[in-house]
Structure 1
Amino acid sequence: MFSKPIKFNAALAALVLAPSLAFAHTGVGGTTGFFHGFSHPLSGLDHVLAMIMVGIIACQLGGRALWLVPATFVLVMAAGGALGMAGVGLPFVEAGIALSVIVLGAVIALGIRAPVAIAAGVVGLFAVFHGHAHGAEMPAAAGGIAYAIGFMLATAVLHIAGIALGFIVARIGDRHGMIAVRTASGLAAVAGVGLLSGVI
């Protein structure tokens, strides 16, 4: 019989290998209104993985990082989205998004604990790319504003899910739980390499 960490990792690997879920941006789906904005980030594996990992990192750092790291991401993502809506070009957007999955996954998998300011700075850097990708396809009308609000709220929900996952693992205090989280994060980093290389 398979242990729980192996089952969890197998399920995550299956998700990682689903190419149709790879990107949640650049011309995919509707781009107006709150509903489209809220559902859009939930439909892309790259965004889901990165956001959950931001939450896990915030949980692992604890203290003010619990709110500062996710809030930094959401606010900087909004600024990146505004740049995209304004038509301001940003190079290497897709690469930046894929690198966010690689770097954040590696940080958790390797157990790296940076000071809160550095963690916030790193997630903020990646947030620009995530925001710009979605902002570039948003209309500048009122529907675009509602879309942006939905997108930011869904991102915050994914951060909260990551924080909750981190708390659950810490609460259980089980060594296998931490191994499962680190292994899953390592698989996410591998998925990021697949996204970066175009394999996924």
Structure 2
Amino acid sequence: MKRLLCSLPLALFAGAALAHPGHESVSFFSGFGHPIGGLDHVLAMLAVGLLAARQAGRARWALPVAFVAAMLAGAGLGALGVALPAVESGIALSVLVLGLLIAFVVALPLAVAVPMVAVFALFHGHAHFTEMGHGSMWLYAAGFAIATALLHGAGYALARVLPEGAAAVRIKRVAGGLIAVAGAVFLAA
């Protein structure tokens, strides 16, 4: 029993050595883990969910769907050998801008918000592809698309779980501010 208890933490942390691409076979699971493994991706995707929660009715789907579709397009551009300029800066800028929109409770019309989110998603998708390594693009893309959708859902759920009122607005604004600060740090790095 003592050996089992000592070896369990080692087994749980063994995957940390595989955090960088090229060390494992590319699969659905490596694609699924990529967005979750980067704070910049996590914050941007949670922010999209938080912003989506502000929309009414079916419009709530617009931002997450546009993000996932454009992210897959960005990965496709990478697969075709099309280079995007300043991918890491684009990702950092997405975190900063989305955080600011939440912090300052900016309500952009969908005609502006959807293309903006889609442009940001191109950078995220291109980065996912660039860090893919060798293997099945389709399985890897399915993994990062599903992980992204789940992160959008988590941001949406977080926004919807909070009760209506001034305190909930303050919590969301603080969350947006923290996301924006992180984006500024990523941009400065």
- TM-score for both structures, normalised by structure 2: 0.84
Q: Between Structure 1 and Structure 2, whose CA radius of gyration is higher?
A: 2
Unaligned runs of 5+ in 2: 1-18
Task: Tell me the residue number matched to 2:140.
Answer: 147
C-alpha deviation, 1:162, in angstroms: 1.0
Which residue number in structure 1 is paired with residue 10 of structure 2?
Answer: none
- DSSP 3-state at the match of 1:50: helix
Map of 1:67-82 to 2, 5 A cutoff? 67-82=61-76
Shift of 1:139: 4.7
**Quick check: 1:196 aligned with 2:170?**
no
The 3-state SS of whatever aligns with 1:61 is coil
Farther-moved stretch of structure 1 (146-155 vs 64-73): 64-73
Match of 1:40 among 34, 41, 59: 34
Identity %: 48
Root mean square deviation of aligned Cα? 1.8
Pick from 35, 48, 53: which aligns with 1:59? 53
Q: Say whether 1:111 aligns with 2:102.
A: no
SS at match of 1:60: coil
Where structure 1 has 5 or more consecutive residues not aligned to the other structure, the ranges are 1-24
Q: Is 1:183 equivalent to 2:174 in the alignment? A: yes
SS for the counterpart of 2:43 is helix
| Structure-2 change in CA distance of 1:26 and 1:134 (3 Å) | farther
- Deviations 1:27-54, CA, capped at 9 Å, x for gaps: 4864610111111111111011100110
Residue of 107, 128, 136 corresponding to 2:130: 136
Matches of 1:94 and 1:31 in 2, distance apart? 24
Q: Is the 8 A contact 1:98 1:195 kept in 2?
A: yes
C-alpha distance in structure 1 between counterparts of 2:23 and 2:184, whole Å: 25
Q: Distance in 1 between matches of 2:145 and 2:23?
A: 17
Opposite residue 104 of structure 2, the aligned amino acid is L
- Taking the TM superposition and a 5 Å limit, the aligned residue runs for 1:92-103 are 92-103=86-97
- 2:117 paired residue among 112, 123, 142: 123
| TM superposition shift of 1:79 | 0.4
1:123 counterpart letter in structure 2: V
d(CA) in 1 for partners of 2:65 and 2:106?
21
SS across alignment from 1:64:
helix
CA shift, 1:72, in A, is 0.5
Which letter maps to 1:179? R
Q: Which residue of 2 aligns with 1:166?
A: 159
